[in-house]
Structure formats: C-alpha cells, structure tokens
C-alpha cells in the first residue's frame, strides 16, 4: 500500500544542537516534499526533493529514491525551529499527496 513513515515521532533538543529526521516511503510514492508546521498551524514547504540533496540555510535534505528514504537535517537548532515536520509524497501515477504522521520537535532555550 501507499506508506509514508516518519521517525522519531517526538524530539526535544537543546538550542544549538543538530538533528536528523527520517522519512521512509513505499514504492508507490514519489516526489518527496518536506514541510514545517509552526505552532500557529501554518504549513511551509521547506523542500521539494524527489532525489539528491538540497540546502537552505541551516536546513538540508537528502532523498535516496532507490532506497526509499529521505532525511531532513537541522543544524544549530533555534527555538523558532519548534513545530511539526511532515514529509509527504505523491502516489505514483496518481494525484494525491500522502502525508506522514510528522515529527514533533521542541527546541529548548
């Protein structure tokens, strides 16, 4: 079936620490995207990353499509990084974007 699985489900960091979030996806999913949902509920598209590596400031993402996983790296974390991080993929040959259950991140000052 169509699956997008994220780990860990919850993460607490001290400000300044680095972290890696993981997303595993099934064969029927492609076109990986990473989103950040802030505490006010706004969802921001961080990366569209079907394969390869991209970087944006302190954030970077890598997708290894042949092994069906993607990683989101957060370096030098800040309190404003807190929120929920979702990965999502589009069903192959289809229309819908399927979301994982999210990683809830809290960065302590």
Partner 1 sequence: EADIYQTPRYLVIGTGKKITLECSQTMGHDKMYWYQQDPGMELHLIHYSYGVNSTEKGDLSSESTVSRIRTEHFPLTLESARPSHTSQYLCASSDPQGVEKLFFGSGTQLSVL
Applying CB under 8 A, the residues found at the interface with partner 1 are: 31, 33, 35, 40-45, 48, 84, 86, 88, 90, 95-97, 99-102, 104
Please say whether the beta carbons of 107 and 82 come within 8 A. yes
* Residue 14 or 40 having the CB closest to partner 1: 40
Pick between residue 41 and residue 57 the one whose CB is nearest to partner 1.
Answer: 41
Closest separation in Å from C-beta 54 to partner 1? 12
For residue 64, the minimal CB distance to partner 1 (Å) is 20
Residue placing its CB nearer to partner 1 in the complex, 16 or 39: 39
Structure tokens at 40: 């006010």
- CB 48, min distance to partner 1, A: 5
Task: Answer for the pair 59, 19: CB distance below 8 angstroms, yes or no.
Answer: no
């Amino acid at each position: 079936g169509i699956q997008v699985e994220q780990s860990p489900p919850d993460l607490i960091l001290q400000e300044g620490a680095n972290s890696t979030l993981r997303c595993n996806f099934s064969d029927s999913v492609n076109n990986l995207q990473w989103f950040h949902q802030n505490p006010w509920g706004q969802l921001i598209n961080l990366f569209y990353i079907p394969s390869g590596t991209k970087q944006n400031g302190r954030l970077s993402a890598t997708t290894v499509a042949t092994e069906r996983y993607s990683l989101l790296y957060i370096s030098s974390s800040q309190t404003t990084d807190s929120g929920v991080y979702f990965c999502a993929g589009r069903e192959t040959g289809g229309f819908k974007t399927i979301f994982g259950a999210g990683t809830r991140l809290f960065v302590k000052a």
